[in-house]
Amino acid sequence: MVRHTKATRSESGNELFLGWRERWRHDGLNDPAGMNYTVQSVKEFPLYTSIVVSIGSPPPSMDVYMTDRSKDVSLWW
């Protein structure tokens, strides 16, 4: 087992957790500026709901996302 020092608890540790009432309208998928998508179809089934959305086309240059990660070092494998 890897030994580590225990982190100290933050003084305002629950503020982010309990502040959901102020954040939920503009956080995650509800964010009008950060998440631009168009609902294509909604199909309701007995056990789940299938929602298909269009998130638009990819950026013109995917170089930022397609970096060669084969030489990264991992401590686990």
Residue ranges per structural domain of the chain: 15-54
**Cβ neighbours of residue 54 closer than 8 Å, sequence gap 6 or more:** 37, 38, 40
Would you state the pLDDT for residue 59? Answer: 67
Its pTM stands at 0.42
Q: Are 50 and 42 contacting, i.e. CB atoms less than 8 angstroms apart?
A: yes
Spans in the chain with pLDDT lower than 50:
none
Would you state the pLDDT for residue 16? Answer: 73
**Cβ neighbours of residue 26 closer than 8 Å, sequence gap 6 or more:** 32
Mean of per-residue pLDDT scores for the chain:
76
Cα separation, 61 vs 35, in Å, equals: 20
Place of tokens 């305002």: 12
